[in-house]
Amino acid sequence: MSIEEKQREIIDEFAIYDDWMEKYEYIIELGKDLPLIDSSKKTDDRLIEGCQSRVWLDAAVNQGKLRLTADSDAIITKGIIGLLVRVYDNESPEDIVKSDLHFISEIGLQEHLSPTRSNGLASMVKKIKLMALSALAK
């Protein structure tokens, strides 16, 4: 499935919720389902410090694909991370660089990606794109 197809799929999943609390209930479930990053890997170089919640991103390029895992100390942040990982994991750096991340705003969560929200998510997306770019440059 392409990045675009995955984004479409997530938008469809969220279309059934018309209540904010139901939407967040789903995000919280996603957060609980996301595998934890091993605490030995929660090192400072993987930490994206936010003012509110902290995000750890473990990413590497493997056989031409970017492989991602991430974690957060806040469960809602973690749920949104789960969505971002689903979209970007196992995609080529080229596809990631080309992609337009639009599903977050379409499902009404754009506030979480605002840099002023300081939950580390905006920095996480930036970091993923930068990794993809530097992989392309090699």
Partner 1 sequence: MENGATRKFSVREIRQDFPALRQQVYGKELIYFDNGATSQKPQMVLDAINQYYSMDNANIHRGVHHLSQKATSEYEEARETIRRFINAPKKEEIIFTKGTTDGINLVATSFGELLQPGDEIIISAMEHHSNIVPWQMLANRKRLVLKVIPINKRGELLLEEYRNMLSPKTKLVAVAHISNSLGTINPLDQIIEAAHAVGAKVLVDGAQSIQHTKVDVQVMNCDFFVFSGHKVFGPTGIGVLYGKETLLDEMPPYQGGGDMISKVTFERTTYNDLPFKFEAGTPHIAGGICLGTALNYLNQFDSKELEEYERDLTEYAQEMLETFENIALIGTARNKTSVVSFTVQGIHPFDIGTLLDKQGIAVRTGHHCTQPLMDFYQIPGTIRASFAFYNTREEIDKFIAAVEKSISMLG
Applying CB under 8 A, which residues contact partner 1?
20-21, 24-25, 28, 51-54, 73-77, 119
Report the alpha-carbon distance of residue 107 to residue 60 in Å, rounded.
Answer: 28
Q: Per-residue DSSP letters for 27-57?
A: HHHHHHHSPPPPGGG--GGGEE--SS--EEE
> Is 51 marked active-site?
yes
Cβ 61 to partner 1 shortest distance, Å: 31
Nearer to partner 1, 53 or 99 (CB): 53
In the complex, least distance from residue 12 CB atom to partner 1, rounded to whole angstroms = 22
Which of 47, 51, 60, 133 does the annotation list as catalytic? 51
Closer of 64 and 108 to partner 1 (Cβ)? 108
Least separation in angstroms between CB 29 and partner 1: 10
Query: Of 2 and 110, which CB lies nearer to partner 1 in the complex structure?
Result: 110
Q: What is the phi-psi region of residue 63: left when phi exceeds 0, alpha when psi lies from -120 to 50, beta otherwise? A: left
* Distance linking the first and last C-alpha atoms of the chain: 26
Q: Give the contacts of 106 (CB within 8 A, at least 6 positions apart).
A: 11
**Active site (catalytic) residues:** 51
